[in-house]
Structure 1
């Protein structure tokens, strides 16, 4: 539970794609104060795509909305376990500029679109497949393209504590390297998950972050919309 909820928002249309990798692959990419987090001996690289909806200071009537796409892994740090972000691509020029100017965090400007097929009356079909596309437009950094269509299947569930599903999605602390190592805290109820199918037509996040593309098919989750609170970002002492 956060001591303060400076920001409130809703996350929706969330896609999680997780690839198991050798911990050594991750270890050499981490800052000195972080070590690899594993589950039953495996490290993971995860691509996460979602919409941050109605982001606003607590109590404010209106907020901003934009998609985000990131590549992350799982770590242990002095402030506790969490996820480590290699990149945070966002269709939000003001937020990207502030994050880079104030903290030099790995935020990058991108053009993104999130859509669903339309029905005969031209309205978007609720609960159907979601298409998420992203093209990085940030100058001077590796190009990134992502294009995927995903759809939830099966019954909704909440990850069991200690399970692989919980290790991959139930994370309430994040780390990112900027002009120093930073951490942030979030707060929300456990994710309501569904298994999902995904058709990934383009994904250059691994190459852009210096990784070989992992072998095999990912573990895929779709997450129902969730209310999220966030505290301010702090440097790791």
Structure 2
């Protein structure tokens, strides 16, 4: 539950790529206080790429914007079901440094670019393909690259309660392990999703986190921009 909206922001150009995996693939990679959450007997590994736009403390007149790329799975934890992050790559050196220094969370600096190829305008707000590239530059950790062009292909829809889409995207808290187990809470309206295609030319996030690449093609979703509130990260 979100007790206070400490930060406000908009998430846009969101790509979700979900791969089903055997629960045993992830069970040994999460903290002891968490257990694997499944849907239809499958666990999932998801690559999520998006832009965090106009991030600001509540009431502040000016915010920051930068892309983020993460690999995550889904867990049951001390405060209920949520997302567990293996990495959070971001083009925000100050935020990355603070998260690592204060919490030892798996944030990594990266060079990123997000744009719509037809317009070459990173801030264009329209349908059409989005190219998202990321190259991790953080020293002393495994290299990671991601390069994909994606675009929505279907009509907008909201995930039905109990559906696989709801299991994968309607999560309002996350866990991450640093020097302790941490939990963060967010709040937003339900996602507006669209079926999508993704041409993934490079993706080494699995290898960087010690996984083999899952078999088969992912479930791909594009998400419409959404306003998000976030509480402070707390230990559990």
Same fold (TM over 0.5): yes
1:20 equivalent to 2:8? Answer no
2:154 is aligned to 154
For the residues of structure 1 that align with 2:177 and 2:140, how far apart are their CA atoms? 18
2:4 is aligned to 4
**Contact preservation (8 Å) 1:118, 1:125:** no
For the residues of structure 1 that align with 2:41 and 2:150, how far apart are their CA atoms? 28
Alignment of 1:166-185 (within 5 A): 166-185=166-185
What secondary structure sits across from 1:155 in the alignment?
coil
Shift of residue 150, structure 1, vs aligned partner: 0.2
For the residues of structure 1 that align with 2:157 and 2:75, how far apart are their CA atoms? 25
2:94 is aligned to 94
Shift of residue 120, structure 1, vs aligned partner: 11
For the residues of structure 2 that align with 1:27 and 1:150, how far apart are their CA atoms? 30
For the residues of structure 1 that align with 2:113 and 2:228, how far apart are their CA atoms? 22
What secondary structure sits across from 1:156 in the alignment?
coil
Q: Deviations over 1:150-192 (max 9, x none)?
A: 0001110000000000000000010000000000000000000
Shift of residue 117, structure 1, vs aligned partner: 1.9
What secondary structure sits across from 1:86 in the alignment?
strand
Distance verdict in 2 for CA 1:65–1:124, change over 3 Å: closer
2:229 is aligned to 229
Runs of 4+ in 1 over 3 A off after TM superposition: none
1:65 equivalent to 2:65? Answer yes
Q: Deviations over 1:14-47 (max 9, x none)?
A: 0000000000010010100000000010000000
1:44 equivalent to 2:23? Answer no
Shift of residue 127, structure 1, vs aligned partner: 1.0
Moved more, 6-15 or 123-132: 123-132
Q: Please list every run of 5 or more consecutive structure 2 residues that lacks an aligned counterpart in the other structure.
A: none
**TM-score normalised per structure 1:** 0.97
2:84 is aligned to 84
**Contact preservation (8 Å) 1:119, 1:125:** no
What secondary structure sits across from 1:24 in the alignment?
helix
What secondary structure sits across from 1:143 in the alignment?
coil
Please give the root-mean-square deviation of Cα atoms over the aligned residues, in Å: 1.5
For the residues of structure 2 that align with 1:46 and 1:120, how far apart are their CA atoms? 27
**Contact preservation (8 Å) 1:116, 1:125:** no
Distance verdict in 2 for CA 1:105–1:128, change over 3 Å: same
**Contact preservation (8 Å) 1:156, 1:194:** yes
Q: Aligned residues, how many? A: 235
**Contact preservation (8 Å) 1:173, 1:183:** yes
For the residues of structure 1 that align with 2:52 and 2:125, how far apart are their CA atoms? 20
